[in-house]
Structure 1
C-alpha cells in the first residue's frame, strides 16, 4: 500500500508542472471580426479567440474595444471572460 501511495505522489509531482502551465492570460484590443458560425472572435492583434457554445455575441461587432481573458488549450485561445471597454 505504501508503494502505491508513493507511486501516486511521484506521478502527481511529475504532472503538476503540466497543469500549472495552463495559465489564464488577458489582452486588451479592438474586435476586427466576429464569426458566430465558427464561434470565434478576431482581434486587431490578428489573433483569433474561440468562445464556448453558450457564448452571447450581443453587442459585439467590429470596432468594439474589449479585454479578453483566455487560456490556451491545444494551441487554441479559448475565451474565459470578455469585458467591453468604453
Structure 2
C-alpha cells in the first residue's frame, strides 16, 4: 500500500462571525535551520503555508497554546488545493 503525500492548510474562522467575516490562514514561521517557531495568520490563502498533517497539527496546537484570542476562533485543517 502506498502512502499518500497529502498537504494541508490551517484555517481559522471567528466562531460568531457574520457572512462578511473572511477566514484567515496560517503562515508558519521557521528558523534558518527549518525548526518550527510558530504561526501568524494572514488573509491571503495563496501565501499560506502548505504543510503535512503533522506540521498542521503542530501549528494548531501552537496557536491554541500561544495566541491569547484563540478561543474566539474555530481552527481547522483543510486540504490544500
The TM-score, its normalising length taken from structure 1, stands at 0.27
Which structure is richer in relative contact order (CA contacts within 8 A, separation 6 or more)? 2
The TM-score, its normalising length taken from structure 2, stands at 0.29
Structure with bigger gyration radius: 1
